[in-house]
Structure 1
Amino acid sequence: MTQKLVAFSLASLIFMVAALCFKFLSFSANGQYHAINIIGSIEALADNDYLGLAILQSAVILVLPSTILLCLLYLLIPVLFGKKPKHAAPLLKLIFTLRPWTMVEIFLVAVLVSLVKIMSMADIGIGLSFYAYALFAISMTAMLMYLDQHQLYILTSCELPAPPKPRPASHSIQTTWALLVTSIMFYIPANTLPIMHTNILGDDQPSTILGGVVTLWKMGSYPIAAIIFIASILVPVGKLAILCWLNYSVQTDYYGGQKTRMVGYRITEFIGRWSMIDVFVVAILVSLIQLGNIMSIYPGYAALAFCTVVILTMLAAFSFDTKLIWSEQ
């Protein structure tokens, strides 16, 4: 296990650095040409006054994954040589705290969705960085598959962390309700306001999330339309519904169906991050399609609102105390 984790971590770092060094994607139409790299895609968001989204994107696809990889290498390379790594406990805690917030593979899927969306508009070029990033996503995903908290604590000769002190049930319930209600409030503008604006020859064409799904469906891109519909509409609604049901069940002292409720909770944990696909698609299109008055894409307010929904629902899932499912109050 140690050798595999080190190998995948090293490979991930190498591919990530390579992905930052070359052209990522290019877009040409009507004699106009524009190319971007990964850093350029982040800068484009900041230039369009979406600094928050730019920071978030850089964090979840670069900063947090690289932090996890460096921490793992710092801990496991000494283990390969039979030595005990220093500062193992805080670094392991950091690794598993950051793990749910890495979205390398989600960004890759978003890139593929973006390519399908604009393939009919113009000529698309794929640079070396795209292939390097794809390998980065694959090796990072493989590394995460081998990442086991219990085994890592044993390998680093570190004591398993003590169970967290039990919190009052009311604290978990109230915090979760607050996050869920706020998520619902942001979900309304996320679906009613435009998530992006397409400017073609001076004509502004706003597009909502559902409008984008309909457009893709009419274009015949049924799989991509289905992916966006599931990730951007069904998943957030389903996650909100499941978390509301779980929180209500523990608040009303419902004692039954524990296994079903735990399955529901695990589903929300797994699918929550994937709603970021649409936000990443907008970020990629905004950075790639900048041809002045001929054709340009700009983010809409819904992108920020939807991003907030994803973050708040993830926090709501983390704040929900699953022990309440198994205990009568």
Structure 2
Amino acid sequence: MDESIKITTACHQVQCHECAYLVEVPALYHRQRAHCPRCQYVITTYYQNMTQKLVAFSVAALIFMVAALCFKFLSFSANGQYHAINIISSIEVLAENNYLVLAMLQSAVILLLPVTILFCLLYLLVPVLFGKKPKYAAVLLKTIFALRPWTMVEIFLVAVLVSLVKIMSMADIGIGISFYAYALFAVCMTCTLMYLDKHQLYLLTSCEMPDAPKRHSSSHSIQTTWALLVTSMLFYIPANTLPIMHTDILGDDQPSTIIGGVITLWKMGSYPIAAIIFIASVVVPVAKLSILCWLNYSVQSRYTGRKKTRMIGYRLTEFIGRWSMIDVFVVAILVSLIQLGNIMSIYPGYAALAFCAVVILTMMAAISFDTTLIWSDR
């Protein structure tokens, strides 16, 4: 049989992750998807030679990551002053400025968690290539898919590009080898996650596919989600009213809020960058909070209509939520790069921490929300 039309194993039943409906998954051709007939959730997408592709992209990603850590990432020079950073030193600068939480968060989402996923995948899939069953497969698979939403490699790369546009008019910017290595790492990591199909991985490692997640009770899920949403709303106030960063030029402190930064970029003529920051830092958090509040209220009030529409809203919040971290990463990069003493230095503001809390709490709220309640006949 032609390699391009090989199919998966025989038909079998699985429980839909989002609505708990029992789905008969048929044999699939290459790139063919199996959807839940009730909520249209993609149960699985079959890729021919998925194991080989995942191993290849994982190894390539790790190689590029090592290269990204070994060389200069960015440099900044103005008025005869010069400062260069690599990825590790950029995190150290944040820690030295008493923003240890921000430093730990950045190191986790752009380095530690992606690398953990890659090593877990290689541990699982290399034995599969040789026809062996890996040990602790079930635990590692749960770890991989629990960490997956928290990896933000591509978001950090976009934030670097936004940062360069913001400071290009201020001084000379140098791009080091590590930047290109990290860009290639981001490409390989994105390809790895693209081929990362939960259903197929459980089949490959001979693990039993877990059922849809069960909460302690519907009221427990609703209360937890409300608590996270209300807390994130409270953090959203200082995130938008307090300065997200301070620019010190010759002893003159110039604080900047999120909206203030957007207005400055717009006045400078950087319309696309201003639009990206505004959408990621203002529109996305408000939209996500609004949608999650609507979803949680709908299940609490036992509303039974618009089930598919509500599922679309939930999936939208899952997709866009992480991208709000762009502005936080922009601040982290500028703080790390622009440290020229009294001539010019940038420091993070308390709004950066508050905005981090908003992003993390809304992501946790989306995770805690039980989508099966939308389809429940309570």
The TM tier, using the shorter chain, reads: over 0.9
Paired residues for 1:98-247 under 5 Å: 98-247=147-296
Match of 1:273 among 315, 322, 346: 322
Matched, 1:284 2:333: yes
Provide the rounded CA distance (Å) in 1 between the counterparts of 2:156 and 2:174: 18
Cα deviation digits, residues 113-145 of structure 1 (max 9, x gap)? 000000000000000000000000011001100
Secondary structure of 1:141 counterpart: helix
Larger Rg belongs to: 2
Distance 1:163 1:250, change over 3 A: closer
The answer on 1:307 being equivalent to 2:349 is no
Letter in 2 for 1:24: F
1:33 to 63, 67, 82: 82
Structure 1: runs of 5+ lacking an equivalent: none
Helix, strand or coil at the partner of 1:20: helix
1:237-293 CA distance string (max 9 Å, x none) = 000000000011111111100000000000000100000000000000000000001
Higher mean C-alpha displacement, 176-185 vs 159-168: 159-168
| TM-score normalised over the length of structure 1 | 0.99
The amino acid that maps onto 1:302 is A
Report SS of the residue matched to 2:342.
coil
Q: State the shift of 1:169 in Å.
A: 1.1
> Following TM superposition, by how much is the alpha carbon of 1:11 offset from its aligned partner in structure 2, in angstroms?
0.5
| Aligned-partner Cα distance in 1 for 2:105–2:266 | 29
Take 1:265 and 1:36, find their aligned partners in 2: how far apart are those partners? Answer: 39
1-structure distance, mates of 2:132, 2:299: 46
What does residue 26 of structure 2 align with?
none
- Consecutive unaligned residues of structure 2, counting only runs of 5 or more, are 1-49
Deviation at 1:68, TM superposition (A): 0.2
Contact 2:69 2:87 in 1 (8 A): yes
For 2:123, the aligned partner's letter is Y
Q: What letter matches 2:337 in structure 1?
A: L
Aligned to 1:249: 298
- CA offsets per residue over residues 36-88 of structure 1, 9 Å max, x none? 00001101110110000100000000000000000000110111111111110
Secondary structure at the counterpart of residue 71 of structure 2:
coil
Matched residues in 1 for 2:244 and 2:344: separation?
17
Number of positions where the alignment pairs a residue of Structure 1 with one of Structure 2:
329
1:182-202 residue CA offsets vs partner (Å, 9 max, x unmatched): 000000000000000000011
2:372 maps to what in 1? 323
Q: Distance in 2 between matches of 1:324 and 1:88?
A: 30
Distance 1:132 1:290 in 2: 24
Whole-angstrom CA distance in 2 between matches of 1:179 and 1:173: 10
Structure 2: distance between partners of 1:248 and 1:16: 43
Deviates more, 1:278-287 or 1:75-84: 75-84
Partner of 2:36: none
Counterpart of 1:11 in structure 2 is 60
The alignment's C-alpha RMSD in Å is 0.7
Q: Secondary structure at the match of 1:35?
A: strand
State the distance in 2 between where 1:223 and 1:89 align: 44
Q: Report the CA distance between 1:164 and its aligned residue.
A: 3.4
Distance in 2 (alpha carbons) for counterparts of 1:161 and 1:263: 23
TM-score (structure 2 length as normaliser): 0.86
1:166: how far off? 4.5
Give the counterpart letter for 2:146 in structure 1: T
Question: How far apart in 2 are the matches of 1:306 and 1:166?
Answer: 28
Distance in 2 (alpha carbons) for counterparts of 1:162 and 1:309: 30
CA distance, structure 2, for counterparts of residue 136 and residue 166 of structure 1: 37
Q: Is the 8 A contact 2:155 2:323 kept in 1?
A: yes
Larger relative contact order (C-alpha < 8 A, sep ≥ 6)? 1
